[in-house]
Amino acid sequence: MTTYKGINGFAVQSVASDPSPLDEGQVWYNNATYAFKVTTATTSGTWAAGGNLNTARRGLGGAGTQTAALAFGGATTPTLANSESYNGTSWTATPTLNTARTLTAGAGTQTAALCAGGFAPPSTGATEKYNGTSWTSVTSMSTARRTLSGIAGIQTATLVFGGYEDLGGGYTTASESYNGTSWTASTAIPTANYGIAGTGTQTAALGFGGGLSTPALTAVTISWNGSSWTAGGNLNTARQYLGSAGTQTAALGFGGSSGPAPAGTSATELYNGTTWTSNPTGLATARQQIGSATSGTQTSALAFGGEPGPTPSALTEAFTGPGVATTKTITTS
């Protein structure tokens, strides 16, 4: 009779806990749960439910990763200063922002985050840093504006672009970089954009989607190399107020508004530096003005809050990208 050892030259390993890291095709016996298990690679990305935010809201900022995220600001009816941290399972209230705001932008990690701009009202350039314990107000952006989803980088090396100025400016092409102390004007984006998503680093950023003028949505993608902007491949679904994660050459875009507010979409797309590919599975709940863990990766992202319409949401969803090893229990069925 053919055996596993006969084929592979070694017997199935018996362990008290599942091994890590995992290799595709790896087989083992978990003697604590009395189960044979195997590792398979996902053929497409999937979304799974996570723990709900303590405060449902839309237009919130985010930072961190899938298992160590930070959510801040947003709105229900009033604008909020609420801040919460996520451990991969549940959200815990953290110290509040100094300036309540919605339609804000976030970058960095759970313990070194940046919150920039937003709508207080009116539009604000207020910037705050989080150190894992408290929020501190720092130098404001040069241009007060909201819907700064266009953000890339970390707390001490950030790039923001696009947005909307309430006081006569309207849609803007403005771009600014932050060095941890002060803001400096940077090369403007090619076309004024409101609600554009961003990811990547201060010198290798990616912007995608947004609104070029009311109510025109766009599928545009723009890439920044530290000195100039160039056009990339278009999204398959034009939208604004969408979530993002990843890098300039391995990005993820999800959710957003694909029509007149509050029409949300569940569409999820992956970018390889040239083209966008639609993921077969979208968010379980379509929503716009969604929060995201901006330091997440294309294969490990987090979406939270937003507006399915017309009520703000507290839902959290975690994305596992294609090609990621996952554990399955072997059965006889």
**Mind listing the domains of the chain with CATH numbers?**
4-41 (no CATH), 46-320 (2.120.10.80)
Assign 276 to helix, strand or coil: strand
- Name which of 176, 251, 263 is nearest 206 in CA terms: 251
pLDDT, averaged across the chain? 91
pLDDT range class, residue 262, cuts 50, 70, 90: low
- pTM for the structure as a whole: 0.87
pLDDT above 80: residue 138 = yes
pLDDT exceeds cutoff 80 at 296: yes
* pLDDT bucket at 157, cuts 50 / 70 / 90: very high
Q: Kindly report, residue by residue over 42-98, the tens digit of the pLDDT.
A: 678 999 999 999 999 999 999 999 999 999 999 998 999 999 999 999 999 999 999
pLDDT digits (tens, 9 = 90+) for 276-293: 999 999 999 999 999 999
pLDDT tens for each residue of 166-216: 887 889 999 999 999 999 999 999 999 999 999 999 999 999 999 987 668
Share of the chain above pLDDT 70, in %: 92
| Helices and strands per DSSP (H, E), number in the chain | 1, 32
DSSP 218-237: ---EEEE-SS-EEE-PPPSS
